Amino acid sequence: MININRLVKNYGRFEVLKNIDLSIEKGKINYIVGPNGSGKSTLIKIILGLVKPTGGEVFIGEHKINSDSDYRSKIGYMPQAASFPENLKVREVIEMVKDLRNHKSDFDLDLTEKFRLEREMRKKLCDLSGGTRQKVNAAIAFMFNPELLILDEPTAGLDPVSSSILKDKIIKERNAGKTIILTSHILSELEELADNVIFLLEGRIYFYGTLSKLILTTEQKNLERAIASIMNGAPV
Ligand code: ADP
């Protein structure tokens, strides 16, 4: 689904991503984990075409990123903090995104219904609670039936009921063959959902594979200890 070859990103003399090779399979839930500043957001933004790499190539299916923008309509993105105009009502934001994406039918309203967003539609974004904003962002990310979903800390700020609804939706979409890339610091969530973990540290990929392989290769008894051992420099 996604092929990344010799990807490099520098900001001035600072190397944020250092020669990354990665091949992400279709139809899996992939968690990017790593300490703050390890390059997770930069990698996501490059896949989305929002940041230009210094070197290397990224392909989504057949599409090379930056050479065409058609592939973007196949991606659903839920940023940590969406920057929609604050004075718009929820309904207006949804209509605006529909217009921008030029997607005329077949909307997935699963999350809109399960989060009961209908009663929020006439409120302005600036009047919503943080959790409700997250729900609106999630509903928009899934609305256009994208083949690839990129979700940046999607459950942060959600109450347990809403978080469960979103996790069930992520699993449902994975089971329907969608590819999902997420970031999260919540290890219980990784244990519940992750098919694969991509571990980034100081701009390099230290591990890519299943949770059980991660625990096995680090010879630790659980995920928390496995991740801690990589951060402490254990070879994998
Ligand atoms: P993470 O998401 O893992 O916390 P980021 O990808 O946000 O990491 O950042 C990786 C490193 O790149 C950090 O040291 C950050 O300060 C730096 N960085 C990110 N964006 C920029 C930018 N636009 N200009 C300069 N440095 C940046």
The band of 200, judged by pLDDT with boundaries at 50, 70 and 90, is very high
Q: Is 58 in the pocket of ligand 1 (CB under 6 A)?
A: no
CA geometry: angle 159, 192, 221, nearest 5 deg: 125
pLDDT given for residue 66 in this prediction = 76
Q: Is the CB of 40 under 6 A from ligand 1?
A: yes
> How far is it, in rounded angstroms, from Cα 96 to Cα 191?
36
Token look-up 């940590």 returns 80
Which CATH number fits the domain that encloses residue 159?
3.40.50.300
For atom 1 of ligand 1, the residue with the nearest CA is: 37
pLDDT, tens digit, for every residue of 128-161? 999 999 999 999 999 999 999 999 999 998 999 9
- Domain assignment present for residue 135? The answer is no
**41 CB near ligand 1 (under 6 Å):** yes
Please indicate whether residue 137, judged by its CB atom, sits closer than 6 Å to ligand 1: no
Q: Is residue 118 part of a domain?
A: no
Residue 235: which pLDDT band, with cuts at 50, 70 and 90? low
Domain that holds residue 167: 2-83+148-231
Distance from the CA of 204 to the center of ligand 1, in angstroms?
A: 14
**What is the token pair recorded at 25?**
């399979």
Q: What is the pLDDT of residue 134?
A: 95
Q: What is the pLDDT of residues 94-116, one digit of tens each?
A: 999 988 887 777 899 999 999 99
Residue 43, SS3 per DSSP: helix
Determine the atom of ligand 1 nearest the C-alpha atom of 45: 6
Q: List pLDDT tens digits, range 65-94.
A: 876 667 788 899 999 888 888 999 999 999
97 belongs to a structural domain: no
pLDDT tens track for 37-66 = 999 999 999 999 889 999 999 999 888 887
**Is 182 part of any domain?**
yes
80 CA → ligand 1 middle, Å: 15
Ligand 1 atom nearest to 44, measured from its CA: 6
Quick one: 38 exposed, middle or buried, by C-beta within 10 A (0-12, 13-18, 19+)?
Answer: buried
What does the pLDDT look like over 207-228, one tens digit per residue? 999 999 999 988 999 888 998 8
Question: Does some domain include residue 121?
Answer: no
d(CA 114, ligand 1 centre) in Å: 35
Atom of ligand 1 nearest to the CA of 38: 3
Instruction: Answer yes or no: is the C-beta of 36 below 6 A from any ligand 1 atom.
Output: yes
Question: Given the CA of residue 12, which atom of ligand 1 is nearest to it?
Answer: 25
Q: How many structural domains compose the chain?
A: 1
Kindly state whether residue 174 falls inside one of the protein's structural domains.
yes
pTM: 0.91
Task: Please report whether residue 98 resides in a domain.
Answer: no
Whether residue 138 lies inside any domain: the answer is no
Residue 234 in this model has a pLDDT that exceeds 70 = no
